[in-house]
Structure 1
Amino acid sequence: MLLWLSELLATHFSWFQVFRYLTLRALLSVLTSMGIGLLVGPYMIRRLRALKYGQAVSSFAPENHAVKMGTPTMGGILILISIGISTLLWADLRNPYVWIVLGVMVVFGAVGWADDWIKIRYKDNKGLPARKKFFWTSIASLGAGIALYVIAAQQTNPVHSAGMLDLLIPFFKNLSLPFSVIPYGLAFIVFTYLVINGASNAVNLTDGLDGLAIMPVVMVAAALGVFAYLSGDVRFADYLHIPYVVYASELVVICSAMVGAGLAFLWFNAHPAQIFMGDVGALALGAMLGTLAVMVRQEIVFAIMGGVFVMEAVSVFLQIGSLRMRQKRVFLMAPLHHHYEKQGWKETQVVIRFWIITIILVVIGLMTLKLR
């Protein structure tokens, strides 16, 4: 919005041209979303507490989680509002990728909100029925996949041998899975659906300890912002031998907004947490990360950088599968962070160690830019 306004005013006031610089708008996006989060956060915590929108602790949770009972939840609303306002202010709203990401955020956020609301209102830990979750998240992720296919099918890749629909294999210059050979973009659309929904649920499963999910979200979003910046510039894309994605550069503003909003939320979510993000935040943030990864064509690198999310999700699948097939547990408790709690790790130990793992994995992900 402000970019459009600055372009109008630049004809009369030349200093408005400074807002055309992507790096400045990315910085302002961080500061805006962080400022909104830090300013509104205390009010939201008080309001949620007054409304008694408190966290219900599952009977399956470790015993030490009883102290979390009643902590305000649905704080993800604050994160999404901060991201939305910052993006609308500083991004180029003529860019279709911006609207696709915002659309995914809104739908997944709405599904998460409904899930949280049912849990709080009716004291039902099951929340929104699974079929309704599946329906609405499928509509959003398939819609995003179709939109991205339509856009990508109209583009060519002038600096990389892979097609715009192909799945790139990291650490290799010219290796990719040729999704483009399957007609009508079916492979690409289905894969996009799986990435977005998988990322959404993985982040949601990770969000079980104070600060555990939000910091990896911040770090992965920042790294995807780097990929977006480089992929959106044909010179950098050519030099690094990565796909040139026409609309990718504006995604830096969204990634920056996610970083700022996430850090502001961490201020209140750090142990002992004053507020939890709830499904409204976790589902939306995970879906946004998955969408961004598909847009910059770095899905496998995203899985590497978000390795903590992958481990948490895999631990749940292994636990459920083992119990059904062998009637035995693989882990003391799933998701994985509860397993380590059962082994005697303190909550802060689990969180910080998972942060360290994420830092290492993000560095490895960024190294794929040069190690080919």
Structure 2
Amino acid sequence: MLYLLLYPLGTNFTIFNVFRYITFRTIYAGLTAFLICFLLGPWFIQKLKDLQVRQYIRQEGPQSHQKKAGTPTMGGTLILTSLTISVLLWGNLKNGYLWITLFITLTTGLVGFLDDYLMLARKQNKGLSARNKLGCQTLVALLGSLLLYFYPGFSTEITFPFFKHTTVDLGLGYVLFASLVIVAASNAVNLTDGLDGLAIGPMIVASVTYMVFAYVTGHARIAAYLQLAYVPGGGEMSVFCGALAGSGLGFLWFNAYPAQVFMGDVGSLSLGAALGTIAVICKQEILLVLVGGLFVIEALSVIFQVGYFKMTHGRRIFRMAPLHHHFELKGWPEPKVIVRFWIIAIALALVAISTLKIR
């Protein structure tokens, strides 16, 4: 909005020319989202308390988590609010990628909101059924992927990290592939959201990482120099990533151990979907396995645990899944699990960024 309003004034007032720079708008999108989240946070948390929007803790989880019962939840609403306002303020609203990403993020957030609401209404840790939740996520992802497929100039080729000229054009099949990436990312972040600040920390790291990839793939000269797939208009996703990182930092202020608020499914499902969508638009879908490596590890720990349990009729690989619970039950204090998992997320993100030159 500010871009469309103020940049044209640059012909008469040179100071407004700064709005043409994606880097400038990315920085201030991040700061704006952070300030909105930070300033509204105390009021928002108090409103959640007044409305009795409180977390229910499953009995089969670690017993140390029972003290978290009653903590306000659905804090993801605050993240989405600050993210959306910031993107609308600092983004180029003529860019279709921004609107598609917002559509997928907010509609997936609506699915999470419904899941959280049903848990509250039933006063137990049971919202949408797994089938209904996955079905709604898939529908949103398919619609968003179709919009991308028909978006002018959008490529249906998949590129591979560490390789210069290896690409595969999936054609219409790319819609299914992109949907899989978005749904998988959404659920992986959701599974990781089990400790105070555990999910939002790596989300910030992943957002900053994809901020870099969005900028370089959206810049024709830099993309050509680094031998990356050039995405016309894709650089605008840096603004979205900046707002995503900023809103995440603002939320982390209140979600850090001991958490004053939880993000709920409205936050975790939507943020994961946003991350998957950004990866698809930047043509760095495969690299999401590295950038979001912590989320992948957490999701795989659940898949392996459930599969092994069924195959062996009751035996387990881990003491409890997702993986962060395993380390809790081994005696690691919650803050130690969180910070060490953050370190892993940062290390994986650095490896992912290194692929810019290792080709």
**TM range, smaller chain:** over 0.9
Structure 2 residue identity aligned to 1:177: V
Q: Which runs of 5+ in 2 are unaligned?
A: none
SS in 2 for 1:212: coil
Structure 2 residue identity aligned to 1:93: L
What does residue 273 of structure 1 align with? 259
Q: Distance in 2 between matches of 1:136 and 1:101?
A: 17
SS in 2 for 1:43: helix
Q: Distance in 2 between matches of 1:360 and 1:134?
A: 31
What does residue 335 of structure 1 align with? 322
Higher mean C-alpha displacement, 215-224 vs 14-23: 14-23
Structure 1 residue identity aligned to 2:285: E
What does residue 167 of structure 1 align with? 158
The equivalences for 1:82-101 within 5 A come to 82-101=82-101
Q: Distance in 1 between matches of 2:310 and 2:57?
A: 25
The equivalences for 1:175-186 within 5 A come to 175-180=166-171, 185-186=172-173
Structure 2 residue identity aligned to 1:345: W
How many pairs were matched up? 358
Q: Is the 8 A contact 1:107 1:136 kept in 2?
A: no
What does residue 251 of structure 1 align with? 237
Please tell me the root mean square deviation across aligned C-alpha atoms, in Å.
Answer: 1.2
What does residue 302 of structure 1 align with? 288
What does residue 237 of structure 1 align with? 223
Q: Distance in 1 between matches of 2:163 and 2:8?
A: 45
Q: Distance in 2 between matches of 1:70 and 1:137?
A: 28
SS in 1 for 2:272: helix
Q: Which runs of 5+ in 1 are unaligned?
A: 156-163
Q: Distance in 2 between matches of 1:72 and 1:126?
A: 17
Q: Distance in 1 between matches of 2:180 and 2:192?
A: 18
Higher mean C-alpha displacement, 114-123 vs 91-100: 114-123
SS in 2 for 1:171: coil
What does residue 348 of structure 2 align with? 361
Matched, 1:370 2:357: yes
Q: Is the 8 A contact 1:245 1:296 kept in 2?
A: yes
Matched, 1:351 2:338: yes
Question: CA-to-partner distance for each residue in 1:339-364, whole Å, 9 max, x for gaps?
Answer: 11111111111100100001110000
Structure 2 residue identity aligned to 1:176: T
Question: CA-to-partner distance for each residue in 1:269-290, whole Å, 9 max, x for gaps?
Answer: 1100000000000000000000
What does residue 50 of structure 1 align with? 50
The TM-score with structure 1 as length reference comes to 0.94
SS in 2 for 1:61: coil
Q: Distance in 2 between matches of 1:200 and 1:134?
A: 10
Question: CA-to-partner distance for each residue in 1:119-170, whole Å, 9 max, x for gaps?
Answer: 1121131202333323321221001111111226x45xxxxxxxx3222111
Query: By how many angstroms is 1:11 displaced?
Result: 4.0
SS in 2 for 1:238: helix
Q: Which residue, out of 209, 212, 219, partners 1:226?
A: 212
Query: By how many angstroms is 1:16 displaced?
Result: 1.8
Q: Distance in 2 between matches of 1:11 and 1:176?
A: 42
Q: Distance in 2 between matches of 1:286 and 1:273?
A: 20
Higher mean C-alpha displacement, 11-20 vs 198-207: 11-20
Q: Distance in 2 between matches of 1:323 and 1:329?
A: 5
